[in-house]
Structure 1
């Protein structure tokens, strides 16, 4: 089969397998089939290529004809599970790495000016720990005053009470995943996850092989190689794309166009560590590639995303644009209120179906008739649907 587009998707720091993303995509496509005029989207079954590479095929049919997309998930959930610890000592280690290491490396001072809401979310687990510690200390003080004969034992047991209460509150408020993510980000910035570095190299090889096969196709029907990164997957996707461009600098000039789509990006969570010099070089290499089109959708209501700073951090020769998906406009008010109250649901909404048509359409962006560059050119020229609500950054037009 001839492919109109080759999509390579990288998910975030999540132990869920590609089956989860396939289910989300099918749901988004099904909703779009019901709402779109004269357009249908058929999503095929999930198929496995290797232990970390699975794909499904998408058939888009509309007034412009039929378009076929191969959607490949470049998985690293097995690596995430190796760092998805639930025990106390790993949690304490993650706290130490992120808060102490991040302070030493100036992370929080760099995040605050550009993403105050994200900075506050980053402080949330620490505030829980300190708040519970304060409550336990006050309780121990009162108990020691009321029972002076037992005061020594009370103060000896207070740390144990704090650990127990802290873990219970942390679980109830669902902040454990933040701690795991932040601790991992510290290791990732310093290049201390060798298994991820090896996986990134393998992912890049897979993308280059597919792009070379498309370039050798005498019919040249493949119009685009699209790298998609969601959440912290935007960090991995950028590194994959850097390796791809090192090995295939012709990409975008000879053969299919090359594009990058990031959703709810988190690149500063790693790039702002002073130890992340290798990752910052990756970003500089990617954004210097003139044929590249890089669009980012990050919602102001998503505190886990950096919606006021582009994922590329500095401008380059590539065409870059950042805007909001405007979830409040493409969802029913009641549904949006439910999502808004759950920070994890808000962060996953980029991959889910919406209840109203709008400018942000995940399925159209990844399987529709237009390349990402054509999508940007169309709406940039009209100055309408793609117009960002917060920030716009352009490289070369």
Structure 2
């Protein structure tokens, strides 16, 4: 399950195929990635992976259409809703808790919103200078009325010309709004999509050697929401011989669960965390500016962990994945760092997403073998056989 991303699902297939070629070359293991096939109901993009005699069916659960309906928003709506949202988050104490649990991610989100506020202010100043500079050519009442209209046009032009780069301002501002709208129950289209995802996941039981649900970014919380729906419909899911694992990468779970309105989401998180039928692995790196990595998602959300190493944590050092020269160029590219854990690693001796997904070792077995390994302090990678 991908994050808040409006791109066509084939983008992820193209990324996976490209990175699979790199992993195959670096590790000396043939990996064949089949062509993508869209399901007739529009919920999935499926492709097959063949590696070392093992076949993996990779399914991308789609919600890019929902993202497109929420991003980009018209600037007028964005301004009004953003002011209302930040007033609520400040008034309820959310910002203090969020800063405590996700200091770096907090700085990114606050910084992005300040950049957007700066663009709005700049547009107003330029519009005021233009209109007031017209002198007596335009009546003063019309000048006053024209300033916000001209400012809106300037702001819209800036957003179109820059497309939000280099910091993807509109993307992250709208992503923030969508996350908190969902926390308040104001995203019914996503509720319906998660119900559909739950049916897809449940139907996979018994058709493969294992089921692995991978939630990246915003789908770190949409993933457990879908699994909670599966368990509500079928309490024995995962207990009939098909191992089920949940893997979170670039987790932002506390981003939503710290919102006082996210009562249902926190309850779903607690139920999935308590289910011993579903393994849970949280893969993280402190180099990912768009994730929350300081504490495990349960502790960060103010929930007790039901058992030791739930979830199992795997800390990855980015310098082990990317060579120093390329890392120095990428380190402040927010989305590059956010996607790095979904890509091939430069070193054949460390974590590699492609090998993780398509390698010979089942994911549920990896989670079990890592459960007894105590995570090293932040900044060090787990010392696990094979990685």
TM-score of the two chains, using structure 2 as the length reference: 0.84
In the superposition, relative to structure 1, how do residues 136 and 71 fare at CA in structure 2: closer, same or farther (>3 Å)? Answer: closer
Q: Deviations over 1:185-223 (max 9, x none)?
A: 121111111111111111111111111x33xxxxxxx33
Could you tell me which of 234, 247, 258 is aligned with 1:261?
247
User: In 1, distance between residues paired with 2:320 and 2:373?
Assistant: 19
Could you tell me which of 3, 16, 28 is aligned with 2:19?
28
Q: Secondary structure at the match of 1:57?
A: strand
Q: Secondary structure at the match of 1:27?
A: helix
User: In 1, distance between residues paired with 2:317 and 2:201?
Assistant: 31
| Aligned-residue offset at 1:70 | 1.0
User: In 1, distance between residues paired with 2:134 and 2:45?
Assistant: 63
Could you tell me which of 304, 310, 320 is aligned with 1:329?
320
Q: Secondary structure at the match of 1:181?
A: helix
Is 1:343 equivalent to 2:337 in the alignment?
Answer: no
Is 1:48 equivalent to 2:38 in the alignment?
Answer: yes
CA contact (8 A) 1:97 1:186 kept: no
Q: Structure 1: any 5+ residue segments left out of the alignment? A: 1-9, 215-221
In the superposition, relative to structure 1, how do residues 48 and 158 fare at CA in structure 2: closer, same or farther (>3 Å)? Answer: closer
Could you tell me which of 218, 222, 225 is aligned with 1:232?
218
Instruction: Show the counterpart of 2:186.
Output: 192
User: In 1, distance between residues paired with 2:165 and 2:172?
Assistant: 13
Could you tell me which of 57, 64, 67 is aligned with 2:54?
67
Corresponding residue pairs, total: 369
Instruction: Show the counterpart of 2:277.
Output: 291
CA contact (8 A) 2:280 2:312 kept: yes
Q: Secondary structure at the match of 1:373?
A: helix
CA RMSD of aligned residues (A): 3.2
Instruction: Show the counterpart of 2:63.
Output: 76
In the superposition, relative to structure 1, how do residues 352 and 238 fare at CA in structure 2: closer, same or farther (>3 Å)? Answer: same
User: In 2, distance between residues paired with 1:69 and 1:145?
Assistant: 65
| Aligned-residue offset at 1:322 | 2.5
Is 1:364 equivalent to 2:355 in the alignment?
Answer: yes
Instruction: Show the counterpart of 1:247.
Output: 233
CA contact (8 A) 2:33 2:48 kept: yes
CA contact (8 A) 2:37 2:45 kept: yes
User: In 2, distance between residues paired with 1:334 and 1:121?
Assistant: 24
Instruction: Show the counterpart of 1:6.
Output: none
CA contact (8 A) 1:189 1:275 kept: yes
